[in-house]
Amino acid sequence: MKRFLFKLGITASALLAVAWGLDLIITHNLKRSDARMFSTYNAIYSDTLQCDAVVMGSSRGQVQYDVRIIDSIAGIDCYNLSVDGRCIDAEVVIYNVYRHHAPKPKLTIQNIDWGTLQMSNGYEREQYLPYLDKDDLFQQTKTNEGFNWADRWLPLVRYAGYRNVILEGLGLPAKMARPGNIYKGYIAVDASWDGSALRQIDTLGFACNPVAVDIFDRYLAQCQEEGIRVVMVYAPFYIGATQKMGSDVDSMFALYQSFADRYGCDILNYTYDSLCYDTLNFYNASHMNRRGAEQFSTKLAHDLKRLLQQ
């Protein structure tokens, strides 16, 4: 029996050592990966992200705010921190991590729309995995993303079920998006109009999750306390989508205006801009392609420049 237990202990120790080794290799490589979902967190945690303005938003922020144009016209150094497929809870997570590792920005450009004040659904949860050992990230994500102590401290547990992440971490071919046209978090999309999804929708509604509203409120209060100027922006939607929202558009405007009044934020509204009426500017109803993003970012940059000079 003692011999059996000894062999079992040796085997378990060997397996644990292998698991720790693989975990270290995967994590090390993911922290240097150029895959889209890891790129911004990698920039933040490597302390290479230094800027005086940030863009916050979801995928609409990621593909519509061309920071190269905004920088050149508005005379600022801006980084796009927008998080694909996510709402304000995940936006605030990356913002807080950024604030923990970089000097505070002078300006936050916050994209707002019908989806901002909802809670994220776990899309691309794996973006957090390489940095769960960091307390500033783990404490923010453990509840909403369902992480626990085992994900943080036991080898390979956090990577279970994420085949492509493991392959990426081992340097093997993996199906990970790595757009070649990404610049400081902004991704230019070269695609033409596809209105099939919009045609299947009868109405669009504006919904608020109370938890998300509270997160947004505390986030704006934090910016105000730190003296960070916030400009809220309604980036263009295709007008056909806006029309399907009906009176909900006015409810959305009223709620965000109440936040702006409370915290002294500016609002720039492009909901009915001429860009919204031309499908050549969009690849779907809620996302602009490169052509539209460049035109929108030019208008936005001039408006930001005017605001900053006041």
Q: pLDDT tens digits for 232-250?
A: 999 999 999 999 888 899 9
The pLDDT value recorded for residue 56 is 98
161-200 per-position pLDDT tens digit:
999 999 999 999 999 988 888 999 999 999 999 999 999 8
Are the C-beta atoms of residues 30 and 37 closer than 8 Å to each other? no
In the chain the beta strands, taken as DSSP E runs, fall at: 53-56, 78-80, 107-111, 182-183, 186-187, 229-234, 266-269, 282-284, 287-288
- Per the structure, how many domains does the chain have? 1
Q: Tens digits of per-residue pLDDT, 270-286?
A: 999 999 999 999 999 99
Is 60 exceeded by the pLDDT of residue 8?
no
- Structure confidence at residue 211 as a pLDDT band (50, 70, 90): very high
Alpha-carbon gap, residue 270 to 274, rounded angstroms: 9
Q: Would you state the pLDDT for residue 272?
A: 97
Segments forming the whole domain that contains residue 214: 2-308
Its pTM stands at 0.93
- We report the CATH number of the domain holding residue 135 as 3.40.50.1110
Of residues 207 and 288, more confidence is placed in: 288
Q: What is the pLDDT of residues 86-137, one digit of tens each?
A: 999 999 999 999 999 999 999 999 999 999 999 999 999 999 999 999 999 9
Which helix or strand (DSSP H or E) is residue 152 part of?
A: helix 149-153
